[in-house]
Amino acid sequence: MTKKLLLINPVPKNDVNLGKMLSFMRMPPLNLGYIAALTPKTWDIEIVDENIRHYNGEEADLVCFTSMTYNAPRVYELASHFRARNIPVVMGGIHASMVTHEALQFVDSVVVGEAESVWHRLVTDFENNNLQRVYNGERGSLKNLVQPRKDVYSRKYNIRNVIQTAKGCPMNCDFCSVTAFNGGVYRQRPVEDVLDELETIDSKLVFFVDDNIIGYGKNAEQRSIELFKGIIDRGLNIKWGSQASINFVDNEDVLKYARESGCFGLFVGFESLNESSLKSMHKVRNLESGVGKYREEIRKFQNYGIGVLGGFILGNDEDKKDIFERTSDFILDSNIDGSQFSFLTPLPGTNLYQRLKEENRLLYTYYPHDWIYYDVFNVVFRPKNMTPEELEEGALNVYKATASVPKSLRRAFTSLVRTRNVLSAVAAYSSNRGYASIFSRKYGSR
């Protein structure tokens, strides 16, 4: 009899999160597309992405959850329902990899690290009634990867084509768990493999989910140029967005070919307007040019028709109460297209978590329940120079000052004038309003 694998991207009920609020940027969970592709063809596969709809009692022979920290309690809640019916539950993803001992209390099996290298063995073990408690994934080469199964994705995503071209980051920023999860080596897929995958897509809007599309070092930068040129040479005619470090603007060829290949916008982690905060985060790339260059760098992106969605982290130890007004002023007078403000969040597996724990500054430690607060939109630690309430209030005020409906419209218009790119302006408006609505739902009643 055909067996059924249920793959679930969990989202806490009533949660106000990015996947729900940023509908313009709603995308399928790529890791589950890879798991589907690596599962033997004899299996039926269904993906339940709770950003689209909640789990509704579907039956399965085997269930696999992906996890981030904030949604781990939802995994454990659903896992208990499946296990009560003797349906084995597997959990992978970054949270299960960082706190494996916790996950093992709630699920049958945990995949630690990248699942691609162990998934086939796991399924075989299940079929032989020999499921192991832990599978340690290896960080393998990204050559000749299978193509993720897009046919199992819902049709309700605005961006259906999610593609990864590289993994890993050598920077190991204080607050980020990418290095711990994907390793400190920047591993790249061959350009031709990525271009071949792009040939198979069914719509022209693409998001490259790399943490940094131009990578680290000159060789990686040249590879990104080759990728962009390849998109142009093959006449793929796509529109794409991604994430990049700020030194994307240092090489005019990177900007030129990115734009010509269809880049409409990039998420860039500016992180802070305090250089002392950047130092404590170990945000080396940003410090190389310095905060004083941020405006000029934003303008360079825009001159090439690329909108910038800047990420800013509030609540660093060096932030005093003036950070809110300084940040709002910067956002408005730099004319950055989009902006995301989040709270410094100590995620398990990061240096930051370890430090704040040792300093006894974590506010929510009733785990696993309290992981729901670790979604970057709640203050989960005691800041140094203000109270948690002042930090929340200050962030809400930054959103009010920069992303109200009139302000977001004005910023989208400026984005259009500067980038001459309608898609950049639309992305800027919808991201500004999406993030603002998360904050107003959480804190707007104050």
Query: Which of these ranges, 129-137, 167-175, 301-309, 362-370, lies near ligand SF4 under the rule CB under 6 A?
Result: 167-175
As a whole number of angstroms, the distance between CA 397 and CA 108 comes to 45
Query: Which of these ranges, 173-181, 302-310, 340-348, 385-393, lies near ligand SF4 under the rule CB under 6 A?
Result: 173-181
* Least Cβ distance, residue 169 to ligand SF4 (angstroms): 3
If the CB atoms of residues 108 and 211 are measured against ligand SF4, the closer one turns out to be: 211
If the CB atoms of residues 82 and 186 are measured against ligand SF4, the closer one turns out to be: 186
Binding-residue pattern over the window 210 to 249 for ligand SF4, x denoting contact by CB under 6 A: -x--------------------------------------
* Least Cβ distance, residue 362 to ligand SF4 (angstroms): 21
Phi-psi region of 315 (alpha: psi -120 to 50; beta: other; left: phi over 0): left
As a whole number of angstroms, the distance between CA 73 and CA 91 comes to 12
60 in contact with ligand SF4 (CB under 6 A): no
Specify which residues 242 forms β-bridges with. 266
As a whole number of angstroms, the distance between CA 414 and CA 408 comes to 10
The one among 169, 191, 396, 398 contacting ligand SF4 by CB under 6 A: 169
344 in contact with ligand SF4 (CB under 6 A): no
198 in contact with ligand SF4 (CB under 6 A): no
As a whole number of angstroms, the distance between CA 339 and CA 350 comes to 24
179 in contact with ligand SF4 (CB under 6 A): yes
269 in contact with ligand SF4 (CB under 6 A): yes
52 CA to centre of own chain: 17
State the Cα angle at 278 between 277 and 283, rounded to 5°. 150
Taking CB atoms within 8 Å and a gap of at least 24, the contacts of 365-373 are 367/102, 368/72, 368/73, 368/76, 368/102, 368/106, 369/73, 371/69, 371/70, 371/72, 371/73, 371/95, 372/12, 372/15, 372/70, 372/71, 372/73, 372/74, 373/70
Residues numbered 105-124 forming contacts with ligand SF4, rule: CB under 6 A: none
* Least Cβ distance, residue 284 to ligand SF4 (angstroms): 8
402 in contact with ligand SF4 (CB under 6 A): no
Sign of CA dihedral 74, 75, 80, 81: positive
Residues in the chain: 446
173 in contact with ligand SF4 (CB under 6 A): yes
165 in contact with ligand SF4 (CB under 6 A): no
* Least Cβ distance, residue 247 to ligand SF4 (angstroms): 11
If the CB atoms of residues 159 and 209 are measured against ligand SF4, the closer one turns out to be: 209
176 in contact with ligand SF4 (CB under 6 A): yes
131 in contact with ligand SF4 (CB under 6 A): no
Query: Which of these ranges, 116-124, 175-183, 250-258, 288-296, lies near ligand SF4 under the rule CB under 6 A?
Result: 175-183
Query: Which of these ranges, 171-179, 195-203, 255-263, 430-438, lies near ligand SF4 under the rule CB under 6 A?
Result: 171-179
If the CB atoms of residues 179 and 302 are measured against ligand SF4, the closer one turns out to be: 179
| Footprint of ligand SF4 (CB under 6 A) | 169, 171-173, 176, 178-179, 211, 269
